Amino acid sequence: MSVRHSGIGMTSQRTRNRLIERLRAEGIQDEVVLAAMNAVPRHIFVDEALASRAYDDVALPLGFGQTISQPYIVARMIEILRNGKQLKRVLEVGTGCGYQAAVLAQVAQEVYSVERIQPLYERAQQHMKELNAHNVTLRYADGGMGLPEVAPFDGIIMAAAATHVAPALLSQLAPGGRMVLPLGAQEQYLCLIERDEKGYRETRLEAVKFVPLLMGKA
């Protein structure tokens, strides 16, 4: 077992349990999501210098102007995406270090995740290998277009704030599917889009703060 996985203080089960209790206190009710958050070792995804803060409920810098999302936001978005149902195929736009993809891997049968920044994509690949997350497929690409060749998805989740919802992504959402994303420029909010036989329904949720969605590979 590598040092990264060993029982140094910050990785102890007690530290993780404290985070789960905090998420519960903040209103996360889906026990499947809470179990997934508990199962994923967040400390392996953060810089060693920040490892002591890995189980704090805060966003942390990853470099390249990106962050690893606050655990509450990861849990909240996945709880909304799941809506108490088993997820089959999920698309994540913005892999970052791979933390959210690893949590999604615990609750979905197949996870496809797209990252536009090559060093982050390579880092996430390494993390998936460490965790034996065989149901996660990572792609180095511009995620704004989704992955039409793998669609449809019954869940789409975005880890960067868009100014509008791309029609390409909407078309890849299966009927009965849900999409959760941060929308807005200066003021951002979580948006839930549901697709049914009549079309798309949009619900505005709480205020959030994400890095902006950028186009093209880097």
170: tokens are 């909407």
214: tokens are 């950028």
CB count in 10 Å sphere of residue 9 = 9
Please report, in angstroms and rounded to a whole number, the separation of the first and last CA atoms in the chain: 34
113 annotated active-site = no
| CA nearest to 156, candidates 135, 181, 136 | 181
Query: Which helix (H) or strand (E) is 62 found in, with range?
Result: strand 60-63
16: tokens are 């993780």
Answer for the pair 189, 208: CB distance below 8 angstroms, yes or no. yes
What is the chain's alpha carbon radius of gyration, rounded to the nearest angstrom? 16
Cα 24 off chain centre by: 18
Query: Which residues lie closer than 8 Å to 2 by C-beta, 6 or more apart?
Result: 130
**Catalytic residue (choose from 12, 69, 113, 171):** 69
- How many residues in total does the chain contain? 218
Q: Which residues are catalytic?
A: 69
